[in-house]
Structure 1
Amino acid sequence: MAAVLELHASPRVHGSSFSLVLPRRFRSSISCCSNDVAVRPLVLTDAEQRSVVRLGLPSKGRMAEETLDLLKACQLTVKQVNPRQYVAFIPQLSNLEVWFQRPNDIVRKLQSGDLDLGIVGFDTYCEYGRGNEDLMIIHDELGYGHCRLSLAIPRYGIFENINSLKELAQMPHWTDERPLRIVTGFTYLGRKFMEEKGLKHVRFLTADGALEASPAMGIADAIVDLVSSGTTLRENNLKEIEDGVLLESQGVLIANKKSLIQRKGLLDITHEILERLEAHLRAAGQFTVIANMRGNNAQEVADRVLSQPSLSGLQGPTISPVYCKRNGKVTVDYYAIVICVPQKALYKSVQQLRSISGSGVLVSNLTYIFEEETPRWRKLLSELGL
């Protein structure tokens, strides 16, 4: 940890002395003379070390908005006292600070231990994490921010009939004196990809934003950039090529491995975040379907329901008696069927229920599906050796 030194020069002293102000957490022995200053900070005590857990979130753009939306859907609404401040909190998680940062800074500060948890795109994690052993992915499929990091070339000129990485590599145009120029903000992943694919005579140029214009301006021959729909590439007369995708990306939850082991309370917070995320994401696109079905007993009804391929639910249907009063007596003529159905199979499931005498079908969205234990939590503990 670096100490910030404030040097206060006095106008009455001709360079022979000055005052040195250190942060209070440093206990130092200082000697001053005209030529040297000796500072010997002591090691911070446990009480002086940071105890609050820090979560880094993207500060701007679509990724920031979708991250906040996901957390809100998990009942983890981020609250800012002042929208101009970089720090916020989540009422449901005590002893947690939320820090809004640029995605690349989130990765860097996780490596340094200034943050404990962070949400970024997988592409950002790979580019700036660079295989650092202190970083680990806690959840690799947050379900938003989908894109791919791709190599794209012009549709015209010498590239008109080039449609694969192999054809690009075999072009005679590239030499040591005239390499293939690729402009990108992902120089680490770009170089790694080209080396793995055996492409020689390649030079990378760094740039941020509006990369699609570079080939037309003559600045570069190709680009490596994030692609979602591909519309921007087509509008700028560029094309992706076969085998030219460096990686597929979406939002991921990452952490500092040492912090997970050493930071008090971090594992508990991580467990709760994981459970909320898993429960919400598992329920996405799922519906609860309830129907009444006439039958003599629950076993008979269960046999009829399970004879249909789309009506098994998560582990199987829940079947309960429906009580009614007839001629002064309580009887059971119907049974209520409760199943979980994915959206894509919803109408087919309703048809199958009707075919086996299901009636009064009710459909509602599912918000959460909690497992007995979160699979990713078990995996995390195993990776940490806990």
Structure 2
Amino acid sequence: MSTQLQQRGAAVPCASRRACRLGSSSSARSSSKPLGSAAARRQDARAAALQVVCSLNNSAGTMAPKPAKLEARETLRLALPSKGRMAEDTLQLLKDCQLSVVKPNPRQYVARISQLPGLEVWFQRATDVVRKIIYGDVDLGIVGLDMLAEIGNDDPDVIILHDALDFGQCHLALGVPMGGRFAAVNTLEELRAMPWSEQAPLRVVTGYQNIARKFFAEKGFEHVVLLSADGALEAAPAMGSADIILDLVSTGVTLRENNLKQIEGGTIMHSEGALVANRRALLERPGLLEICHELIERLEAHLTADKYYSVIANMRGESAQEVSKRLLDVPGLAGLSGPTVSPVFTRGTSGGAEPHLFAAVICVPKKQLYPAVKEIRRVGGSGVLVQPMTYIFDEEPARWTQLLETLGITADGLNIK
């Protein structure tokens, strides 16, 4: 039993097979999209020919229609991951931005952020964070880009407010056996060129079936079976239940320890934590844009500052201008907009305060700290102090301006101070 692949990857229930089969069909209809080139026509033909035979993966199931209008409620809602490393990193980031999530009872799923009155925090599974944003049950959410791509499936009602929260970094990639018939396979082209057929298709075990469908269709694979598993995907090729895996990779150690390798062209996407929102909620719910502005501004200021150290050094020189020029002439010592130089007063021979040195303050990228300190000393610096930075506020975050452009609105009339 089979059905033509639809936009959201609707699945046909099947109790006898744990697989989603991608293969050609003589009865498949052509895509209705305009064809711009021969390559585009071939890709559309492949996508039109893909069929779903069976899937037990929830993300591939048919989704209920969205409500015609958002449900009226007095509070705004932010959904956060409820378990795992993503949940811990999310709460830590908010805490670093002086946004403390207060949950009176650890068994409750609802919490508050005292600095943002009127905003409820709802703890949800990562998949449900995306689903509830799509339907408007929550207005904002923090989730990994991989889960957003898998469950969101390019839904137009989901808008990314911040795509780089600097935690949960990983990438979605293929894991191919190191030995056997895959020993000489080191590129995606070599994998595709293997003698796959309808009788002997490429078997891929993955929890990302929507992403997998698109990837293999775009890359020209014709005979693929997608298999579902609840965990331990890396064991499937060794057991013989699958040929390769498609899963998240952080360091690659787990792949290597299970005799799997990454191949050239086999990385599907890079992922990390992201702040997302429901488009209709942004346009219709009073006060939501103001909260988004504050969240974006706090996040941007902290994440930018977290990449720098504040460096203060005593500098010998004839004047502030002369000291500034020495620093500006050295690459990497200009700071964000230039050094701040001011006189340092010491007690003179007469007992009064006299300027003998200048204090130079600059921002230095963390990765370049030690080379920068060496250069400061080389141009006459001493007593170098290094301090962490908490925030660097810009005039207006670029991501906020981009959001307004995406929504087609201006900041006029918004209560933003």
TM-score, normalization by structure 1: 0.85
- In the alignment, which residue of structure 1 is the partner of 2:16? none
Which of these residues, 278, 281, 287, is aligned with residue 300 of structure 2?
278
Residue 45 of structure 1, CA deviation:
12
- In the alignment, which residue of structure 1 is the partner of 2:222? 200
Residue 351 of structure 1, CA deviation:
1.6
How many residue pairs match? The answer is 342
- In the alignment, which residue of structure 2 is the partner of 1:95? 118
Helix, strand or coil: the match of 1:125? helix
> Based on CA coordinates, which of the two structures has the bigger radius of gyration?
1
Instruction: Please tell me whether residue 65 in structure 1 is matched to residue 68 in structure 2.
Output: no
Alignment partners' CA distance in 1, 2:68 and 2:280? 18
Residue 330 of structure 1, CA deviation:
4.0
CA contact (8 A) 1:145 1:249 kept: yes
CA contact (8 A) 1:53 1:96 kept: yes
Helix, strand or coil: the match of 1:372? coil
CA contact (8 A) 1:290 1:363 kept: yes
Deviations 1:186-236 (A, max 9, x none): 000001000000011111112221111112222211111111111111111
- In the alignment, which residue of structure 1 is the partner of 2:272? 250
- In the alignment, which residue of structure 2 is the partner of 1:209? 231
Residue 296 of structure 1, CA deviation:
2.8
- In the alignment, which residue of structure 1 is the partner of 2:342? 320
Alignment partners' CA distance in 1, 2:281 and 2:386? 44
- In the alignment, which residue of structure 2 is the partner of 1:360? 383
Q: Supply the AA of the counterpart residue of 1:93.
A: L
Residue 81 of structure 1, CA deviation:
0.7
Deviations 1:101-121 (A, max 9, x none): 111111010000001111111
Q: Supply the AA of the counterpart residue of 1:275.
A: E
- In the alignment, which residue of structure 2 is the partner of 1:225? 247
Q: Supply the AA of the counterpart residue of 1:245.
A: T
Residue 142 of structure 1, CA deviation:
0.6
CA contact (8 A) 1:310 1:348 kept: no
Alignment partners' CA distance in 1, 2:388 and 2:211? 40
CA contact (8 A) 1:279 1:369 kept: yes
- In the alignment, which residue of structure 1 is the partner of 2:263? 241
Which of these residues, 177, 181, 197, is aligned with residue 199 of structure 2?
177
Q: Supply the AA of the counterpart residue of 2:284.
A: Q
Alignment partners' CA distance in 2, 1:329 and 1:83? 61
CA contact (8 A) 1:308 1:352 kept: yes
Alignment partners' CA distance in 1, 2:121 and 2:101? 8
**1:282-293 equivalent positions in 2, closer than 5 A:** 282-293=304-315
Alignment partners' CA distance in 1, 2:263 and 2:99? 41
- In the alignment, which residue of structure 2 is the partner of 1:374? 397
What is the Cα-based RMSD across aligned positions, in Å? 1.8
**1:42-121 equivalent positions in 2, closer than 5 A:** 49-121=72-144
Residue 331 of structure 1, CA deviation:
2.9
Alignment partners' CA distance in 2, 1:234 and 1:330? 65
Q: 5+ residue gaps in structure 2?
A: 1-66, 410-417
Alignment partners' CA distance in 2, 1:242 and 1:340? 38
- In the alignment, which residue of structure 2 is the partner of 1:137? 160
Deviations 1:304-352 (A, max 9, x none): 2212212100000001122334225443222111111112221222222
Q: Supply the AA of the counterpart residue of 2:262.
A: E
Residue 376 of structure 1, CA deviation:
0.7
Helix, strand or coil: the match of 1:241? coil
Residue 96 of structure 1, CA deviation:
0.6
Helix, strand or coil: the match of 1:69? helix
Residue 44 of structure 1, CA deviation:
12
Helix, strand or coil: the match of 2:160? strand
Helix, strand or coil: the match of 1:243? coil
Residue 294 of structure 1, CA deviation:
2.6
Taking only the aligned residue pairs, the percentage that are identical comes to 56
**1:257-276 equivalent positions in 2, closer than 5 A:** 257-276=279-298
